[in-house]
Amino acid sequence: MIKTLAQFIFVYSLMAFSGMAIAQEVQIELGPAEIGLNETFTIKVTISDEKIKSYDQFPDIPGFQKQGISQSSSMNLINGQMSSSNSIIQYYRPSKKGVSTLPSFELSINGQAYSSPGKQITVGDAVSRGGSGGAVSDPFADFFGRSAVEEPEYVELEDDAFFSVSVDKEEVFQGEGFNISMAFYMSESNQAQFSFHEAGRQLDNVLKKIKPSNVWEENFNISNIEREQVTINGKRWTKFKVYEATFFPFSEGEIEIPRVPWEMIKYKVAKNPTFFGANRQEDFKTFYSNPKSIKVKPLPAHPLKNEVSVGEFQLRENIKSIEVETGQGFEYSLGISGVGNINAISPPKRLPMANLNTYDPNVRQQINRGYGRVSGIKEFNYYITINEAGDVDLGRNFEWIYFDPVRAVYDTLIPQAKISVEGESKVNQAISSQRLGGIYDRISTEDNRFLNEKYKYYFTVSINVLLLLAVALLALLIIRKR
């Protein structure tokens, strides 16, 4: 009995509203429920009036092996109305007889998710090539002089591609950042077809091997793998960056980046391609990066070498000059901006200065990761009061010391702001408002009567007499012993 194609067709529509409704039709077609051991099962996705720009990997089926993917497109012009469709077909080859279950699955097509309830597939004995088993017969098979289920022969093309872990510096100071990136490259002359395979899982495994324990990581968080045209040694390549970060080492020594693997899907192509059928087959190839070594040098001798930030920094102020009254509070914002580890920037050092009061600052920071470096600004917002009239130079009250790795020197950033203070002195008022503590807290509870100096005199005399007697007794004992 001739079996017809028993396929489940699931139609989904996406509606976007912008004054009128626009429908996009997507079909997921599953192959027959019964096939022979020498036949193939298919999952076909068809989208109407739109190209297939992106799609997920097709699901695995227990007891089957993926045999490649083919794509097709069609266009119809009826009564002046044009319609088109594009399809992707995933082929599966059974590895044994029996009943297998294709579980429910979900595919993302052009960024939209579509689901299928799956299917139960029965694999029977191999069928005759001329018979009419469960496989779909190709109506054009006789025209091309070959059977629709004939297994094509696949060949592997030579590729011109590589995987690389690169760093922008081979020698840095302790605390100085270096950029590290990982990318897959294909030359313009490359003929082999590649796809990424479980990039997220592979990246997690690679980072466990290459990330040192003694660094601060600023991850650039690449969410989409984009293509980029680059030129290396006069040759043009397509670059697919999968990871980028800046590492800031805490300690001196050597940082070793080991050789790491990266697996790509590499497609074999049919030796004799046909218009209908699978003209390519999935295979895998593992690429390996070259190891890297980065030397971390110690900072030059300095009393604050273990505390200062390392980078190229500048100082920013929100005021240059201001006039205030004594005791009147005002806000002063001091920012450290530049290239370096913004997270590690500590507040400026507060120098002792009479009649100026301030508190711990509010802190705000902004970090930018791009163009192979980490930059940004960290702002310290102070609330200040001054109790004595006069001109106040904030450069004598704040300073920030850092190490510049480009010039290999320590440098100090000093504010330029000038404050003009008018009004009467508030020094005494400021002292009275403060809690002095210590012995001052006991004044109200202690006895205010004078001690009798007479008793103090007699006590001192008695102690001296006892000391003289002790010395005389010691001398007498020494004389008698002799």
Beta strand 398-404 pairing with 349-350: antiparallel
Give the pLDDT confidence of 290-324 residue by residue, as tens digits: 999 999 999 999 999 999 999 999 999 988 778 88
Strand partners, 285: 264
CATH of domain 9-151: 2.60.40
Given this chain, do its domains 9-151 and 309-438 carry the same CATH topology? Answer: yes
Q: Specify the pTM.
A: 0.60
* pLDDT value of residue 465: 86
Cα–Cα dist 337/316, whole Å: 7
DSSP helix/strand/coil, 341? coil
The closest alpha carbon to 336, from 318, 313, 362, belongs to 313
Q: Report pLDDT for 13.
A: 33
Q: Which residues of the chain have pLDDT under 70?
A: 1-24, 72-82, 129-152, 273-278, 354, 428-456, 482
In the block, tokens 């720009």 appear at 53
Looking only at the bridges linking them, the beta strands covering 418-422 and 321-325 are parallel
| Whole-angstrom distance, CA of residue 40 vs CA of residue 373 | 51
pLDDT value at residue 220: 93
Residue 277 confidence (pLDDT): 56
The domains of the chain are located at 9-151, 161-297, 309-438
Is CATH 2.60.40 the classification given to domain 309-438? yes
Alpha carbon distance 129, 147 (integer Å): 7
Per-residue model confidence (pLDDT) at position 256: 96
Helix (H) or strand (E) holding 480: helix 453-481
**pLDDT recorded at residue 142:** 43
Q: Which residue has the tokens 């990330």?
A: 211
Contact criterion met (CB below 8 Å) for 157 and 191: yes
As a whole number of angstroms, the distance between CA 133 and CA 41 comes to: 12
Contact 299, 175 (CB under 8 A): yes
Per-residue model confidence (pLDDT) at position 278: 65
